[in-house]
Amino acid sequence: MAISSKLPHHLNFIRTFVNAKVKWVRDPHLDIAVQKEKDLKQTISLKNQIISSPSKSLSLSAASLLKPLLDLHTTTTKFIQNYPSVVSQFQPSPGLPPRIKLTPQAWALHKEELAIHSSPTHRDDTVKRLAKLLMLTGSSRLPFYVIEKLKWDLGLPHNYVTTLLADYPEYFEVCGVEDSLTGTEVLALKLVLWRQDLVVSELEKRAMNWDTNGSRKRHEIAFKMCLPKGFDLEKKIETWVEEWQKLPYISPYENAFHLAPNSDQAEKWTVAVLHELLWLFVSKKTERENLFCLAEYLGFGSLRFKKALVHHPGIFYVSNKIRTTTVVLREAYRRDLLVEKHPLMGLRYRYIHLMNKTQKHKQAIVSAKSQQRG
């Protein structure tokens, strides 16, 4: 966070969350938004491994060793067989071991992906979002292994250190830091200079747009609530939320750690940070463990993030699909579709379409065989 004067003491009052349990209600549309990206990250990661090879192909034996790196839930060979529309097997010549390569359709999508990553507009947007992420930390720096966890969510190119960061020395530099979690020395990315032009959060930006005079006060900024149909909060919780929404909005780029951690005002600031974090991601969602990891580096600790997610189901949705737990920013979606689709997300949906071609073809074959047996 920026090193600035503390916020007024009159904001530091304590009102603890009402003693009532906020029930979890499944949102089928947001579950679909998560479910349809099943195996997408792993497929694109495998694609990147293939194109990183000088021959633009990998031996099947070499690919089999990638299972831990790709975080596959099955063998690499089985995974490749599931998506022949993306990756195909071939034998270079008789007697040589089989290899894998991208299909022409996957190559075409990869070229479009490269075009997006090399676009000046996209590069500028990516750099600014990464800078804002660093500004949310207390020291304007993050270990590279943390950034690697968020690489997919931030929409960073495969070799982002050499293809992106190296071109922006006025923004970033590499440094060594003591990892607060392990106590060891690790490499980190540091923001060279605090960027005052970037300290406006998404909610503040909207408030400025709503107010033609640009004078909307922060206490008028509230979070958009998007409770699913049929979801009703208990009356005492609903009343608490209404009062909580009226509390002054504190920018996530300000330092408000002087507030009592259990106060409602502190929780509103925590929610503001979570909201801004999710907004920086191209899909407006991420795995819950990524947020908990970030919580430690932002100085909150995972418990404060956990409470904020549980207390505010109208702002955040937690999905348990595709073998993980994903936090989704509700307002960013209309049913299962993003309201504002980042160019990279448009391309990812086309990868999904290509992957699903295989599944639909398999289903058609199985159906045909069943009819024949019948």
- Give the CA distances from residue 341 to residues 101, 163, 203, 206, in Å, rounded to whole numbers and listed in that order: 30, 24, 18, 17
Residue 277 φ then ψ, to 5°: -60, -50
Residue type, 318: V
Decide if 190 contacts 147 (C-beta within 8 A): no
- Tell me how far apart the alpha carbons of residues 321 and 325 are, in angstroms, rounded to a whole number: 7
Burial 175-193 (b: 16+ CB within 10 A, else e): eebeeeeeeeeeebbbbee
- Distance (Å, whole) CA 164 – CA 128: 12
In a domain, 3, yes or no: no
Residue 124: both structure tokens together: 């500028």
How many structural domains are present in the chain? Answer: 1
pLDDT value at position 246?
92
Q: Which domain holds residue 368?
A: 38-103+345-373
DSSP 170: T
Asked whether residue 361 is assigned to any structural domain, the reply reads: yes
Find all residues with CB under 8 Å of 352, minimum gap 6, and list them.
36, 37, 40
Cα-based distances in Å from 169 to 125, 128, 164, 194: 16, 13, 10, 14
Q: Is residue 203 part of a domain?
A: no
Cβ burial of 148 (10 Å; 0-12, 13-18, 19+) is: exposed
CB 194 within 8 Å of CB 135: yes
- Classify residue 322: in a domain, yes or no: no
- 3-state helix, strand, coil split of the chain in percent (to 5) is 50, 10, 40
Predicted structure pTM score: 0.89
Q: Which of 121, 55, 56 is nearest to 87 (CA)?
A: 56
Q: Is residue 351 part of a domain?
A: yes
Residue at 368 is within a domain: yes
Q: How many CB atoms lie within 10 A of CB 83?
A: 23
Helix (H) or strand (E) holding 334: strand 333-334
Q: Residues of the chain whose pLDDT is less than 70?
A: 1-16, 19-20, 209-219, 358-374
Q: Residue 84 is part of a domain; what is its CATH number?
A: 1.10.10
Between CA 171 and CA 361 the distance in angstroms is 48
Digit-coded pLDDT (tens) for 124-154 = 999 999 999 999 998 899 999 999 999 999 9
- Which residue pairs, CB below 8 angstroms and at least 24 apart, start in 138-143? 138/1, 138/255, 138/298, 138/299, 139/177, 139/190, 140/190, 140/191, 140/194, 141/175, 141/177, 141/188, 141/189, 141/190, 141/191, 142/188, 142/189, 142/297, 143/177, 143/179, 143/186, 143/187, 143/188, 143/297
DSSP 173-189: EEEEEE-TTT-SEEEEE
Is 59 within a domain? yes
pLDDT of residue 232: 77
Q: Can you list the positions of beta strands (E) in 251-331? A: 285-287, 316-319, 326-329
| Residue 111 within a domain | no
Rounded Cα distance, 362 and 374, in Å? 18
Q: CA–CA distance from 20 to each of 23, 131, 236, 260, 261 (Å)? A: 9, 39, 8, 21, 19
